[in-house]
Chains A and B, each alone.
Chain A
């Protein structure tokens, strides 16, 4: 992507799955074999089907290998916002989005360094507006590459 503002948008992969035993296992098995690292995951389900959302270190490759296995996969743009791992940090972000009437469809987070840094991922309805908004208010957003770089340990370097 050429435009700079897009660079700070992360990619999440979403997989359609029937709500029955073994579907998540089928996804993780493929990712394990391809050595793709999963940073975070959420699952939203309806009665008989659902969507598995994954934040991985190589979303393009994940999409490719899962599609090849016959799965229905879509890349979705999300905001990955860096927060302090402390009380009230998430509240600052959600208050800001709420005030500007940005709707959150899905959200999840993970801690990078205990009591130091956390990443909060939001799937919102007006992503570009939301991205500008959080940047303007001093939050740092991360793109896929930056997300990879926040590994607590860079195993490959050791």
Chain B
């Protein structure tokens, strides 16, 4: 069940040989860009200094801020004639960044996405509904190309227009959907509204969910409601977009394609590498990109490498579900909290609906966390005492995890602001 058996099950020593060869080429290529050219000169670093893979750490780290400062062409390592496409990041947390692709870049990215989909079990007989924003965001086009390469029929439905999404699914017998997890959950209310049960009334069998961190419980909710197997997808525009790492049928960690990326996990404070199994910030180096190679790029995503072999036979290491981003972290009364921690707790509590919102306020000298939680429709019995009980349970459960007592407000289903793109989980009203 492999798309490219040779590469997917490559022996470790062979992989390292391939990585070293590609790394050297990448460093040489990168030195053509004005940014890396200048850095290498300053540090008196030459592509020939890469003798083994362990020499990778001699290269300075690249950050998102570097990409922003070099807007637009500072990292460009190809002539503009060679470029066939650009993508720009969603810019959720600051100014946007841009990535350029040559034809060969698009081809290898497309192949990687096809490899991911094939690994999960998608075949050319499938009908693939791509419910992602096309345009500058990579999630739409990246998957679109991958699915076509695999040979499936693509419905380029794009994001939003929920009722039409459901109609398309029914009319064209969609079997696989690609969707942002928070939108998949929002869509459940629309399914209920139009009286369509995806388990009975559609032929959906698989979902690819990604583009935002989500908990295991959230995945199971999506699987239960849609009657599908849902696969976690990881990617970022700086590393092409989707297809960087993906779950195999074991659904236990995402294989990161090490023929395309050199993988490091570092301690985000000391910047020292940590061993497999330990949590830290993911740092990636592109190994086959021509247009805009990036060396030791700090993804800001927190994860760990799952030690040990995967029973599926693929030798590429597995990343654990992304815990959050270093810049998602909230600091409240000196305690570090990630939105995903809140989500994980909430999804475990019976009666909690599909959406929530965290609001941070400052009152005098004290910070306060308000968590607005939608109530599950079926849970409501008309009894105020039951709702009060639910509210107290949520307060206690959250307190036991984050050590801060939040204020919990129960809100009506579907009343929180919904997004067709990445969900906004935190509103910080504190003034610095």
The yes or no verdict on A and B being binding partners is yes
What residues make up the interface of A, taking CB atoms closer than 8 Å to B?
12-14, 16-18, 44-46, 48-51, 53, 68, 70-76, 105
| Among candidates B387, B388, B391, residue contacting A16 with C-beta atoms closer than 8 Å | B387
B381 and A74 form a contact (CB under 8 A): yes
B294-320: CB near A (< 8 Å → 1, else 0) gives 000000000000000000000000000
Check B381 against A71 for contact (C-beta < 8 Å). Answer: no
Provide the residues of chain B in CB contact with A16, threshold 8 Å. 375, 380, 387, 410, 412
Interchain residue pairs with CB less than 8 A apart (21): A12-B382, A16-B375, A18-B409, A18-B410, A18-B411, A18-B415, A45-B384, A48-B409, A49-B387, A49-B411, A50-B384, A51-B383, A51-B384, A70-B412, A72-B380, A72-B412, A72-B413, A73-B380, A74-B380, A74-B382, A105-B385
Residues of A contacting B409 with CB < 8 Å? Answer: 18, 48-49
Q: Shortest distance in angstroms between A41's beta carbon and chain B's nearest beta carbon?
A: 13
Q: Assess whether B414 is interfacial by the CB under 8 Å rule.
A: yes
Q: At the interface, yes or no: B377 with Cβ under 8 Å from chain A? A: yes
Query: Residues 117-131 of chain B: 1 if any A CB is under 8 Å from the residue's CB, otherwise 0?
Result: 000000000000000
Please indicate the chain B residues that have their CB under 8 angstroms from the CB of A18 in the complex. Answer: 409-412, 415
Complex: how many Å from CA A14 to CA B380?
9
Taking CB atoms, residues of chain B closer than 8 Å to A105 are: 383, 385
Chain A residue numbers with a CB within 8 Å of B410 are 16, 18, 48-49
Q: Is the CB of B382 within 8 A of A71?
A: no
With both chains docked as a complex, state the minimum distance between the C-beta of A53 and any C-beta of chain B, in angstroms: 7
B385 to chain A, nearest CB (A): 8
Q: In the complex, what's the smallest C-beta–C-beta distance from B408 to chain A, in angstroms?
A: 9
Report the Cα distance A128→B89, complex, angstroms: 62
Cβ distance A15 to chain B, nearest Cβ, rounded Å: 8
Q: Is the CB of B387 within 8 A of A72?
A: no
Chain B residue with the shortest CB-CB distance to A74: B382
Give the residues in chain B near A45, CB-CB below 8 Å.
384
| Cβ contacts under 8 Å, B412 to chain A | 16-18, 70-72
- Known A16-B375, A18-B415; 13 more pairs at CB < 8 Å: A13-B382, A16-B380, A46-B387, A48-B409, A49-B409, A51-B382, A70-B413, A72-B413, A73-B380, A76-B381, A76-B382, A76-B383, A105-B383
| B414 and A14 form a contact (CB under 8 A) | no
In the bound complex, CA of A44 to CA of B383 (Å): 9
How far is the CB of A104 from the nearest CB of chain B, in Å? 13
Please measure, in the bound complex, the distance between the C-alpha atom of A70 and the C-alpha atom of B189, giving whole angstroms.
Answer: 9
Enumerate chain B residues within 8 angstroms of A12, measured Cβ to Cβ: 382
Residue in chain A with minimal CB distance to B370: A48
A46 to B390, CA, bound (A): 12
Contact B387 A51 (CB under 8 A): yes
Q: Which residues of A contact B387 (CB under 8 A)?
A: 16, 46, 49, 51
The 4 closest A-B pairs by CB, nearest first: A14-B382, A74-B382, A76-B382, A48-B409
Partner of B414, one of A13, A50, A70: A70
Q: Mark B408-432, 1 if CB is under 8 A from A, else 0.
A: 0111111100000000000000000
> How many angstroms between the C-alpha atoms of A17 and B415 in the bound complex?
11
Decide if A72 touches B384 in the complex (CB within 8 Å).
no
Min C-beta distance of B336 to chain A, whole Å: 27
Q: B381's closest neighbor in chain A, by CB?
A: A74
Tell me how far the C-beta of B50 lies from the nearest C-beta in chain A, rounded to whole angstroms: 59
CA separation between A16 and B411, bound complex, in Å? 9
B382 touching A46, Cβ below 8 Å: no
Distance in angstroms from A62 CB to nearest chain B CB is 13
* Chain A positions within 8 Å of B411 at CB level: 18, 49
Q: How far is the CA of A70 from the CA of B415 in the complex (A)?
A: 9
- CB contacts (< 8 Å) of B375 on chain A: these are 16, 72
CA distance A65 to B414 in the complex (A): 17
Residues on A with C-beta less than 8 A from B385 are: 105
Q: List the B residue with the shortest CB-CB distance to A45.
A: B384
Tell me the complex Cα distance, A18–B59, Å.
55
C-alpha gap A14/B382 in the complex (Å): 5
Per the bound structure, the CA–CA distance linking A71 and B189 in Å amounts to 11
Query: What is the CA–CA distance of A74 and B378 in the complex, to the nearest angstrom?
Result: 9
> What is the chain A residue whose CB lies nearest that of B353?
A72
A151 and B383 alpha carbons, distance in the complex (Å)? 28
CB distance from A17 to the nearest CB of B (A): 7
Contacts of A14 in B (CB 8 A): 380-383
- Smallest CB-CB separation from A77: which chain B residue? B382
Query: Which of chain B's residues have a CB closer than 8 A to the CB of A76?
Result: 381-383
**A46 near B380 (CB under 8 angstroms)?**
no
Most buried by A among B193, B383, B384: B384
Complex: how many Å from CA A45 to CA B375?
Answer: 16
Instruction: Please indicate the chain A residues that have their CB under 8 angstroms from the CB of B388 in the complex.
Output: 46
* B 364-388 to A, binary, CB cutoff 8 A, 1 in contact else 0: 0000000000010100111111011
Q: A48: which B residues are within 8 A, CB to CB?
A: 409-410
Interface residues of B in 261-299 (CB under 8 A from A): none
Give which listed residue, A49, A68, A72, contacts B377 with CB less than 8 A.
A72
Whether A46 pairs with B391 at a CB distance below 8 angstroms is: yes
Chain A residues whose C-beta falls within 8 Å of the C-beta of B415 in the assembled complex: 18
The CA-CA distance from A18 to B372 in the complex, in Å, is 11
A68 contact set on B, CB distance < 8 A: 193
Question: In the complex, A7→B430 CA distance in Å?
Answer: 57
